[in-house]
Structure 1
């Protein structure tokens, strides 16, 4: 009787308070986060001598999320893009759940990294390198409000970013506030990520690498180092195209085709200043007149040729101009690569940050289907 009275008292109090101070509740206040056990490690790197003593340098922060019910044979390792961190995969700017939750719910172990010298992975201030970052205007033009600038032909199709994508919009501000400084030296970054990523795979065992934008360079260098431990590579609009920049400039880049550091090609070319001979071939995408690939006969990427690869491209992002060149280069080098263009599978309106956009779960479903079909 006493317990019943207390219960009724509580109900009355909350009813009165609710009338006086109504609580606004809507679906956007809640996310569909997956339950998971969580742990983290730092991997790779080592002590370096400085003028004032020893520092630990080049280590990588790694977060492991274990689903309640494990039903997939290989874990997913997510690698974020430039100026970003592992938070990319946790939540979306509108508070919705991200790809980590989606794939946990499908039974995958999920690993999330902060690239070396980024976010929770410390930078060595005595290493004779610098950090840089992106302005809000840079993000608006290329990623969140590209339809307003219309610099490349497909930009006008962008509709899936939640909000205006401009400074002052709360969702843009939420995303841009997550941007962090990054290592400005691309060679050093790729070398450090190759070492740390290889060390991670030796700890996790065979895994699938999923990487976005600048982070999309890293599966090539990691798999080249430990090919037997990489069961699949998912390039989410990976940096490209081969050998040069495009859309915003045409400067030479990535002398090894996909990367700025050496990859293993066969037959071996010992000329490190010009590691590959190139030629121009027609490009089937609107906005870029040609692709640069290897001159015939092409050398093989011997450590990548047995790994299934998919390059996923949004309908409106600037990568639609040239991701086909990246796929052509991979195929020419003997890699089993396919190009998955979201517009061609009925998913429209997405930009470069499609994993954070309104229909991100639909895109994750397409990716999950590809994994189950190709990664055996």
Structure 2
């Protein structure tokens, strides 16, 4: 072997070894070494139209006058992107987005930093990031829906607790660069079909059937669906819920009084005790951010989260009363100030992730 060849081999060995050993394990810097990655659809259904398909018949390939006779439609599946690091923990993390969102919630933050998908990949977890049925990359719906195009950015600016109108809250953990806000608004996506909890939870349950035991990480609207999926599928071994807003499951005879708030009423869901008790068998943690009022206010965007937090505390108490293990953490009370409805992508998302890592360790879910 020539000196040049020896030099090339030595350089490659040093580069590979350096990549594998870059920084310390769990660092937020350096290379991410991935041994496997990919994507797939899971769950869903197939609709078959009556009749016989005729490729020559009029309208068979006319988009404006298409004949569906004898044809099929594959839809209502979830779409999943996954990555697996070297030396992974035993249990993977499954990330599920909230209302009007997609897997973008967990990816690169609006200001360009790493999101939870990459943060927890660095920390040694297999990560599965999904678009629920009839949303994002899983947009093929078996039910029709009219999609509007009404301007509503300021509505979501308030509901997502960045501020009011176009004015940010004081101390908010979100960049005030207009380009960052532009990126944030552009991650909102429409539903391509009616929201159907049975369709959604069946698809996510099918994902756990495919990958085996794991930890479900939900956000907002997927929080309640997360409880429903855990009732269906015992392969969910823990749940991390960021800002769940509805569909808290109670025993049939212990559903609390509805919580009225400006703009609506929040109700609990009654389940048979045998189904409800399944939620007492796994550890669950709930996180809420900042700017949630303690008393009724006139702003519906703030008010709905006051109601959600009250209901979440009632739910925690009932689950724990029946032998469960639910922890509820309000980030301002543990020193993290200014968090929005999206703590996983706020400016302090590393500190938010550290809390989750600590909880996973305490519950033995990071083995």
1:235 aligns with 2:241: yes
Q: 1:230 to 1:327 in 2, by over 3 A?
A: farther
**Selected match of 1:77 from 91, 94, 100:** 94
Partner of 1:352: 341
5 Å-filtered alignment, 1:87-106, equals: 87-106=104-123
| Structure 2 length-normalised TM | 0.73
**8 Å contact from structure 1 (residues 147, 157) kept in 2:** no
**Selected match of 1:177 from 153, 173, 186:** 186
Partner of 1:212: 219
Partner of 1:304: 279
**Selected match of 1:223 from 230, 235, 255:** 230
Task: Name structure 2 gaps, 5 residues minimum.
Answer: 5-28, 50-66, 249-256, 293-301
Q: 1:163 to 1:245 in 2, by over 3 A?
A: farther
**Selected match of 1:323 from 301, 309, 313:** 309
Aligned-residue offset at 1:130: 4.6
1:63 aligns with 2:81: yes
Aligned-residue offset at 1:336: 1.9
Partner of 1:47: 46
Partner of 1:251: 265
5 Å-filtered alignment, 1:124-135, equals: 124=141, 127-131=143-147, 135=152
Q: Output the aligned Cα RMSD.
A: 2.8
Q: 1:147 to 1:135 in 2, by over 3 A?
A: closer
**8 Å contact from structure 1 (residues 231, 375) kept in 2:** no
Q: 1:158 to 1:148 in 2, by over 3 A?
A: farther
Partner of 1:292: none
1:332 aligns with 2:322: no
Q: 1:247 to 1:162 in 2, by over 3 A?
A: farther
1:201 aligns with 2:208: yes
| Structure 1 length-normalised TM | 0.71
**Selected match of 2:156 from 133, 139, 147:** 139
**Selected match of 1:113 from 96, 113, 130:** 130
**8 Å contact from structure 1 (residues 100, 110) kept in 2:** yes
Question: May I ask how many residue pairs the two structures share in their alignment?
Answer: 296
Partner of 1:192: 199
Aligned-partner SS, 1:197: helix
